[in-house]
Structure 1
């Protein structure tokens, strides 16, 4: 087994991110280290990462290479050393990657990307509201924007996770539900209204 295959089958993106100091959360959304990121916009999956802000993406070797300014081979060697791997004898706990499903068509990809863009913008807004409108004391009435942020953050994170990293069939189904439902138009209308208010 070669070095690249050993590393990719043995070390997840999440494991490398944790070892190399990227602050992680239960949703595995982190601030992207590859651009000036004010709110967490990079999603860490087991097999790859994706930044909704700058578009940075790749596998565990790409992540390590970008973090430390290494070539792919140097990054693979670093991962092998840091995780105690041997190309000839991968650890028994090596992850087993599923076979990729058939990719969605170009039209479906555009619809999925559109849903992701709107949801990510909404998530940024919710993050802002959660901080800006948090009550300063237990007696202070809760602002409706703070309440919305508390209720919707997990929902939006789950949708983003499904659209970005779920199987192709689930991505398509989630995008269809969003495009046919009320949530996405409501979110986009609200974002457009806020943009107009800020521009005024």
Structure 2
């Protein structure tokens, strides 16, 4: 496969990742609405002030502490939020870092600066533009994970809607607890309309 074909395929994979991630972005608004029992406009207003994924995750984490469905649900919800946070960090690197096609393959260049001490008796050095050879399949795998998280987050939203509607008589067999092992879920990308 030629270099330009590899790079074109890689750009398509990054595009799929971006479009799939937009579902997560929107679902966090929907989760806020479900947890607060407010209108879509009110949730959008809150989310506009907490634009980053991290800020909205913090809000829903705090809201769950105020009126949790159950301890088992809270543990599953916390695992989902932690997975979202970890996935967001990787996604941000894939989207915001620079990519170059080299003889080693696709190289992701992280522009962020950080200091580090290479050895105990050496001076602290500034590192930036760190290079990471990244297999294009890694981007596809992350997109698949994001697609599965879309499904699991949808389960959490439905559970919150049911919890508000049914109150304390809510059944412990919730959608989130049933879908907690998101890795075992089928690939959701085709369900979202992104057929390769």
Structure 1-normalised TM-score?
A: 0.38
Larger RCO (alpha carbons 8 Å, 6+ apart): 2
Please state which structure has a larger fraction of its residues in helix: 2
Please state which structure has a larger fraction of its residues in strand: 2
Structure 2-normalised TM-score?
A: 0.38
